[in-house]
Each structure stands twice: as C-alpha cells, then as structure tokens.
Structure 1
Amino acid sequence: MGVYRVRVSTGCSFYAGSKNQVQLWLVGQHGEASLGTCLRPARGKEVEFTVDVPEYLGRLLFVKVCKKHILQDDAWFCNWISVQGPGPSGDEFYFPCYRWVETKAILTLPEGTGSTVVDDTQGFFKKYREEELQARRKIYRWGNWKDGLILNMTGAKKEDLPIDERFLEDKKIDFEASLVKGLADLAVKDSLNALACWDDLDDFNRIFWCGQSKLAVQVKDSWKDDAIFGYQFLNGANPMLLRRSTALPDRLMFPQGMEELKINLEKELHEGTLFEADFALLDGIKANNFLCCQQYLAAPLVMLKLQPNGTLLPMVIQLQLPKVGTDPPTLFLPTDPPMTWLLAKCWVRSSDFQLHELQSHLLRGHLMAEVFAVATMRCLPPIHPIFKLMIPHLRYTMEINVRARTALVSDNGIFDQVVSTGGGGHVELLKKAGAFLTYRSFCPPDDLADRGLLEVKSSYYAQDALRLWEILLRYVEGIVNLYYKTNEAVKEDTELQTWCKEITEIGLLGAQDRGFPVSLQSLDEASRFVTMCIFTCTGQHSSIHLGQLDWFTWVPNTPCTMRLPPPTTKDVTLKTVMATLPNFHQASLQMSITWQLGRRQPIMVALGQHEEQYFSGSKPKMLLKKFQEELAALDKEIEMRNAKLDMPYEYLRPSLVENSVAI
C-alpha cells in the first residue's frame, strides 16, 4: 500500500507511439492492483506518474500491460516500465519490454533481475514461464525452406513473421531505398554499355564508378598480383577455406615432367609452410543456365607457400578433380603465360565467390543465426538470463533471412539470374555443405588450431577472431557464473537444456554427430556454447559480410559466374579471358547487389553497444561495461596496427562488427 511512482518509456521508431490508452497492473508477491487506463504513449517519450495503491503488494514481480482499442488499432512499442515503491527509500523495480504491445492482448512483463528455473524455488514465475513458452511455440514454429537444409522460421514472406521480428521503420526505409538506388545504378550502367565493345579488362572500369570503397580501388589496381591473390585466403572476404597442409592432397596428381614441382611442394610441406585451399565441395554441382546461356563451375585446389615475411603465394592451381580413366588434370603454374595464369586465378576466385556466399555467408552465418533465434524464442522465456544475453544478437535476423529466401536465392531470384550456382545448384551446394557444420568449426580457438593458422602472424583474421572470442567468452562466463553457482545448477535448468537440445537435434537436424552438444553439463560447457552462438551472430558473420564491398566490387577479382568451361590447356588469350568473365550486365548486377548488401549500414548497432537493457541490477551492468571497455581496447589496438598496414584489416574491429545478423 502507498504511492508508487511509475515511468514508462516508448520507442523512437516512426510508429512506436499509440493514440489509444494503455492500462497497467502491478503484481507483487502478496497481491495485484489495477492502475487503470493511465497513459496514452507518445513516440520517443518517457511518461511519469504516481498512483496510490491501497493493497499491500510486497516485492513486485510483474507489470501487466494492455492497450485499448478506441478509434485506431495501432500497436505500441514499449521500451520498459520502471516502478518505485512507496516512500522516499522505496525500492525501484525495472521491467524490460522492447516489444510491440497490440490491442486486447495482455502482455506480462517480469521484473528484470533474471531468474532460472532452479532459482525460482517458491514458484513465483512458474506459471508465467509455462504460459509464455506455450504461447511462443504457437507463434515461433520451425519451417523447412528446402528439404535437407537446417531449419528456419516458418513463413514464406516477411509479412508472415511475428511483429517483433520485423524491421523497424528506419531500417526498412534505408534497406528499401538502397535497393532502389542499386537498381537505378544498374539501369544506367546497362544503358551506357549496351552497345559498347567489351573486349578488354580495362572495360570493367566503365561500371566501376559508384559505390566502391577505398580498398576496392586498391584491389582494382593490384588484383593480378600473386601476393594479393594469396592475401585474400588469409584476410579477404572468405578466410574460412585456408588450412596448413599435413600431406599432399590425394587429388593433386602430377603429369609427367612435373617432378620438380612435387619436390618443391614436399619441401614446403616438410618446413610447415605449405597451405591449401580446396574447393572440392563444388565438384558435381550443376551449373546454371539462364537466358539459354550455359554457365560453368570448377572445383579448384590451390597450393600456396608462406614466405618468411608473411606473404602467401600460390604455387600451383588444379581446376578440376581427377576422373577415373582420364589423364591427370592440367596444373597451372605462376610460370605459365600471363593470361593462362590469370584465368586460372579467376577461376579460383569465382569458385570462392560461390563458397563465400553460400557456405560461409548464408549457411554458416545467416541460417545458423536463425536456428539460434527460433530456438531461443521457443525455449527460453524473457526472464531467463540466457534469453537476456542472447536477444540483442538476434535482432532483425528472421526478416533479413526471409528477404534473402524471397529475393536472392529464390526461384528466379538474383542467384538464378546471374550466379553460376543458381538454377538449383545453390541449394545442392547448401545441402552438401551441411555435412561440414561441425561444432569445432564454429569455435575459433578450435577451428584455427585445426586449420594450422594460430601461429600465422599475417593472418589478421585469425588474430582478431581469437581476441574477440576471448573477450566475448569472458563476458558470457561472467553472466553464467552470476546466475549458476555450480555445475549441478546448469544440469538442472530444464529450460537451458531444452534450448541446447532443440538447437542441435531439431534446428540443426541432429548435429550431435558433428560435435554439437544435446545437453550442457557444466558452467564451462554452457559458457562455451552461448559464446559460440553469439560469436556466430556477430564476429563470424561480420568477418564474412564486411569484405564483400572491398573484394567483390571489382568483378574480375571475384566473378559471380563464368561463361566458358575451365581451360584444359594453356592456350589462353585475352579474348578467352573476356569471353569467360561475366558480361557487362552480369558484372553490373554483381556490383549493384554487392553495394546494397556490402555497404556500411547507417542503421547499425555495434557489438555490445545495444541500448536495450534487459538486465536489471548492478552486477550484470558492470559486466556489460567491462565487456564494452575490452571491446574498445581491442578496437584501438586494431586501429593502431592497421595504421601500419598497406591494406588495413577491419572486418573484426568491434566498432564495425554488427551486434546481430541484420544485413
């Protein structure tokens, strides 16, 4: 009983406010009190009022919210509600929301301290948890975009998504405006080049006049260099293929007269300086055919040597796997005629485009993040500390993925129109790549050790990924240890165990045979699993996403398709190269989409900098502050290192890493 001071915060997006009134109830350990229809929320405003409550409520547990419907059925975006108890020294209770409140539905907001099932010994939150998850599972249902792929959120179009998963207006306007601009640029480039000759590599300059980055200009000027070719395996848009060789690959066959090459490779192997990038996943994938024009794919193998100064140089390229009963495939060497060697490298880079976009970016970034998002919404109630930890890193993921499935990789989408794995090959490739989704490969300390990159100082990706993982792990460990005091508490948390199992057994289609856990048995296991989820949604996605504008804008460096079969001889001319690379329309479309999706996003939240406060209490806030300070320190270190580099590596710089898979 007494006077309560209530504050209510409304979001800042265009339609966050409501013209209707909102009714509130306070629910405490000893009772419930209606505050009546006490406010009409306005966009971006914080409203404060006092109310005299005659009942004794005890410690507050929930605030209930209901938005009335009088004239206009408009949703209201509530940030949070704060309630201070009676008297000058009354406790203040914080109720995070950050959700849309729709008409008639009563939304129950638990106090923000956070609680596991094990903590709730008196059962204050038991009914709430059960009802919340029951309601969520009706809304958040598993879907299956294509048989054989990991699961996704059900819904064929963005309008099918729950309102809380949709872009807010600022994000929606920016995204759709960039699409219009990209298409306008494409139309201009097509009209200017429709009748022009396209027979020299310099002709690509005709479409290289808008949206490029500073590094993209460097790439344009130096893309033919072997050092730049090798550098991209270490620090380019797709640093996930390179590994240190432990033996000469079985597929590498040496035609007669190449004994010296084998000796040189074995020498580098013995010294630990031999590396490889194998694109065998592309073998057997059906190439696209659009507008009655057949496109082509290769499955290259590249062997590279690491120089003492850290430069990675290619030694040999094999474009196809050996076939039984045929001669060994042609091996291409740096000593070959310049056009021959250049075309072989273009084939490697085109193959890298396919694996980058489909395996590293879409599958290992976007689709994995969606599995985490759906499982989190189905298995963890908002009061759960791991929900609070995960939710900032799941923002916008479902909508951006639906947009990808309906525009990029859909039937007659961008891939079908312009990419050599389009027309069904891209789905085939995604299915094959699913077998390589191992738990270790999503944890940088294990992945980098398995690939022999931990000691490669010129791999800035490896250095930065490891540092970022360690900082993130410390933050997650801090939260986990705050809410779980023993390993037994982890084991007994049925919600946490269900979440882990649903990710592995359902979302990932039974990935326990690839090392993913179906249960979490200790504090360390829980911390590692949560860190893996968050790192995948943040650092790992950014390391793959941010490089597109730099490395894919100059189309010859990473062609989206190839129009002639891979060469089987070394008789290559400039005419052969130009007839193989994308034509001006394909190149323009590649540049347009690369700009739209790869540009630095103005509506972007950097890692750890989210404004939403899901935790109340000083201890979680202190842990977040320490996390932010460590990220800032790493950001400064990377900035200082990059100042000394000809090509700065920024894709894991914390201030540029997005807090979720949102683009």
Structure 2
Amino acid sequence: MAEYKLEVVTGERAFAATFDRILITLLGSQGQSETTDLNNWGVNFMTETANWDVHHSNQFVSGECSLGEGGEKPTFSLPRKPVVLLEDNPMKAFEDEHPLLIEHSKNELASKKCFFRWTSINEKLPHHSDFTVSNVPADARMSISRFLESKKALYVGILEVMLKGMLTSEENWQSLEDIKRIFWTRKTQISDYVSEHWKEDDFYGAQFLNGVNPCSIKRCSELPSNFPVSEESVKPFLEDGSTLANEIKMGNIFLYDQKILSGIPGKLYHGEELQVPAPLCLLYVNPEKKLVPIAIQVHQEPSEENPIFLPSDSETDWLLAKIFVKNANMVTHQAISHLKNTHFLSEVWAMSLFRNISAIHPIHKLLIPHFR
C-alpha cells in the first residue's frame, strides 16, 4: 500500500469553513483509490490546514502519473460541488487527456449554463442575468464575512434613522448644520472639508477632476452654437487683458456638456413632472492653475427662460445653477459610467466566462479576480 498526505484549507478569509461533507478519491492512470471521508465533527477546515492520509493499492498509478514536479507539492482548486479536484496549473481544453477530466470539463460547463442564465423583460432592452445569489455556486457568491458586513451596515443605518425619527419624515433640512446634527457619527476629515468649501468655485471645479465622474469634461476648441457665451460676459473672470477666444486657443477653456440628458422625461412628484436638466458648463484654468466654472446654461436650447448664469449673479442663483450641473453629473455617472459601463458591460463578460470557460483554463484564472 502507498500513502499520500492530503492538506486541506478553505482560505484566509474570516469564517472560511464549511459544514458540507467532503469526500475525496485519488485517480491515477491505472485506477482509483478508495473514497476517504474528510469530515470532522462540526465546522470543517476553518482557516487552518487539516491533514489526512489517503491510502491506495500499488496498482493505483504507473510511472506516467506525476503528483508534483521536482518534489514540489501540487496545489488544487475546489471551485464547486460535486467536483473533481483539478491541479492548479492552468490547462486549456485540448490539453486534457484523461477521460475523466474531459468528462468533468464538459459537465462543469453544462452545470454552469444551468446556474448562469439570461433573460429579458423587454424586447427593446438587452438580456440580463436571471439568477439569485442563493442559487449560484458558492464561489460566485459574497463571502459570509462580506455578507454579514453589508447586513450590519444596513440594519445599523435603519436603526439610526428610526431612533432619530427620520424613517418616515418628509421635513426639509434648512442647513448643513441640521444634517451634521443627524449624522454626527458619520463625520470624517473629508466630510468636514467638503462642508466648509462646497460653495467655492475652485473646489467645485476640482470635483470635476477628482469626483465620481472625472472623464466628463473636454477641452473646448469651439463654443457650441447652442451655448452663446459672449466675450463681454466672461471677461471679468479671465486673466486681466485676456479674451475668451485667446484662452480657448491656449487650451485653458473646458466644456461640460450633458446633451445626452436632453428630452428625457422626469418622474412625477406630487402630480407634477420634474425637470431633467441637460446643462452646459464652461470651465476655465485660471493663472493659479485652478479649474473654475465661468458660465452655466441649465438646458440645451438658449432662451429668455433659459439664461446663461455667471459667477457675478446673485449668490443663490449661481449656487443653484452649479447644483443643477452637479445633479446632471450624478445622473449620468450612475446611469452610464456606473450602471451601464461598469455593471452591465462587465456582467456580459463575467457571464460569458462562467458559462463557457472551465475554472482551470488560464483565461479564467486571469479574469476571475476582476469579476469578484
């Protein structure tokens, strides 16, 4: 009889363990070993290496079978159950030679196509995934520690707003101080800085470069015909003696144009349709190398009801115009940069990976960390 020592561990993450019953059979070129039960009483393999001795007859393998080259220990992936343990060396489909491995790869992909399905609720929209977190393999789910962390944040947040009487309240805040009194436990160095500087034009401009949607502005080589900013109106905000045409030529003028939002209907609020701004904002890199807004038009088509706002307008008018721009920036960030470009597009690649490529394939090993 020959003996192999098997070491099993679930990983380094908190609470990494299993209550499942784990059985193992070693397969060789001339047969297979007896099945060995790897279970302990209670939780198995919790972040510590567990050892078992697996015995088999001498007829189990021949010289063709290698369990590690140069005396190194082979390592294996356990992607799902029931499963065949595959050595963690990347292997393409045509490199499988053992009939059992070929059959396993075939069954693995068939099984994954049953888990990861497509569906569509509207023929005008692309297909989307059709599964719930509870019915996909464990390796595609949130870890227990991450799941508990998210639930804790949710319930603590709900409890906080309940205790502060905000859960069903429709009262308006009158100032940032009101918000600070409610969310005093959420105070950070960054939140303090933002609350002190959020009205300042140079901080507003900096948010276009360091905020949630930093690729939304472009260097302006020519003003759009629907944004008739005059030389005279912005001259006070440019370097002394300079002109808008000259600053454009020098590459110091940038444009934020949200025409993609034009014509989108707003949701009803108390029976009235809300406006969806599709603003244009002109920004200037001043001699202090700070990016500042110098002109804002809230909607695409200029008119008397849709004027161009300037920093010289009243404080509240200029502030409200800037808020409209930031509101549009958040809408496009969430709908396009975040939801479409991040979730929807990457979901297609993730689904294709799960449905078509075996866990041992080198492409799977390269891509799977990015789809976590």
TM-score class normalised by the smaller sequence: 0.7 to 0.9
- Aligned ranges for residues 555-574 of structure 1 at < 5 Å? none
Tell me if structure 1 keeps the 8 A contact 2:8–2:45: no
Cα separation, 2, equivalents of 1:23 and 1:259: 76
- Aligned mate of 1:253, from 223, 228, 231: 228
Tell me if structure 2 keeps the 8 A contact 1:94–1:112: yes
Aligned residue number for residue 133 of structure 1: 109
Structure 1 residue 176: deviation in Å?
Answer: 0.9
**SS, match of residue 89 in structure 2:** coil
**SS, match of residue 248 in structure 1:** coil
Aligned residues: 360
Aligned residue number for residue 17 of structure 1: 18
**SS, match of residue 35 in structure 1:** coil
Relative distance call for 1:84 and 1:227 in structure 2 (3 A) is same
Cα separation, 2, equivalents of 1:111 and 1:220: 54
Structure 1 residue 353: deviation in Å?
Answer: 1.9
After superposition, give the CA deviation of every residue in 1:126-164 in whole Å (9 maximum; x if it has no partner). 444333222222221123365544543213x43344443
Aligned residue number for residue 277 of structure 2: 298
Cα separation, 2, equivalents of 1:255 and 1:189: 50
TM-score scaled by length of structure 2: 0.83
Tell me if structure 1 keeps the 8 A contact 2:281–2:295: yes
**SS, match of residue 232 in structure 1:** helix
Aligned residue number for residue 34 of structure 1: 33
Alpha carbon RMSD of aligned pairs, Å?
A: 3.3
How many percent of aligned residue pairs carry the same amino acid?
27
Cα separation, 2, equivalents of 1:330 and 1:343: 13
- Aligned mate of 1:226, from 201, 215, 231: 201
Tell me if structure 1 keeps the 8 A contact 2:252–2:284: yes
Aligned residue number for residue 148 of structure 2: 173
Cα separation, 2, equivalents of 1:226 and 1:146: 43
**SS, match of residue 333 in structure 2:** helix
Aligned residue number for residue 92 of structure 1: 73
Structure 1 residue 33: deviation in Å?
Answer: 1.1
Comparing both chains, which one has the higher relative contact order based on Cα–Cα distances under 8 Å and sequence gaps of 6 or more?
1
- Larger C-alpha radius of gyration, 1 or 2? 2
Structure 1 residue 293: deviation in Å?
Answer: 6.0
Cα separation, 1, equivalents of 2:217 and 2:349: 27
Aligned residue number for residue 582 of structure 1: none
- Aligned ranges for residues 205-354 of structure 1 at < 5 Å? 205-254=180-229, 258=233, 264-290=243-269, 292=271, 294-322=273-301, 329-354=306-331
Cα separation, 2, equivalents of 1:9 and 1:234: 45
TM-score scaled by length of structure 1: 0.49
Aligned residue number for residue 362 of structure 2: 385
Aligned residue number for residue 50 of structure 2: 47
Structure 1 residue 214: deviation in Å?
Answer: 1.4
Which ranges in structure 1 are unaligned for 5 or more consecutive residues? 62-82, 396-663
**SS, match of residue 26 in structure 2:** strand
Relative distance call for 1:109 and 1:202 in structure 2 (3 A) is same
Tell me if structure 2 keeps the 8 A contact 1:4–1:84: no
Relative distance call for 1:356 and 1:57 in structure 2 (3 A) is same
- Aligned ranges for residues 352-501 of structure 1 at < 5 Å? 352-395=329-372
Structure 1 residue 292: deviation in Å?
Answer: 4.3
Cα separation, 1, equivalents of 2:220 and 2:263: 24
Tell me if structure 2 keeps the 8 A contact 1:244–1:273: yes
Tell me if structure 2 keeps the 8 A contact 1:248–1:266: no
Relative distance call for 1:132 and 1:337 in structure 2 (3 A) is same
Cα separation, 1, equivalents of 2:172 and 2:264: 32
Cα separation, 1, equivalents of 2:313 and 2:360: 64
| Alignment partner of 1:57 is 2:61 | yes
Structure 1 residue 368: deviation in Å?
Answer: 2.6
Aligned residue number for residue 2 of structure 1: 2
Cα separation, 1, equivalents of 2:178 and 2:54: 72
Relative distance call for 1:32 and 1:307 in structure 2 (3 A) is farther
Tell me if structure 1 keeps the 8 A contact 2:234–2:294: no
| Alignment partner of 1:153 is 2:129 | yes
Write the letter of the residue equivalent to 1:4.
Y
Segment drifting more, 374-383 vs 141-150: 141-150
Structure 1 residue 294: deviation in Å?
Answer: 4.7
Tell me if structure 2 keeps the 8 A contact 1:253–1:328: no
Relative distance call for 1:367 and 1:195 in structure 2 (3 A) is closer
Relative distance call for 1:285 and 1:46 in structure 2 (3 A) is same
Aligned residue number for residue 500 of structure 1: none
After superposition, give the CA deviation of every residue in 1:328-359 in whole Å (9 maximum; x if it has no partner). 83101111111111111111111122122222
Write the letter of the residue equivalent to 1:389.
L
Write the letter of the residue equivalent to 1:252.
F
Write the letter of the residue equivalent to 2:252.
T
**SS, match of residue 93 in structure 1:** coil
After superposition, give the CA deviation of every residue in 1:72-97 in whole Å (9 maximum; x if it has no partner). xxxxxxxxxxx679xxx755322112
Tell me if structure 2 keeps the 8 A contact 1:95–1:111: yes
Structure 1 residue 185: deviation in Å?
Answer: 2.4
Structure 1 residue 215: deviation in Å?
Answer: 0.9
**SS, match of residue 25 in structure 2:** strand
Write the letter of the residue equivalent to 1:95.
F
Tell me if structure 2 keeps the 8 A contact 1:254–1:328: no
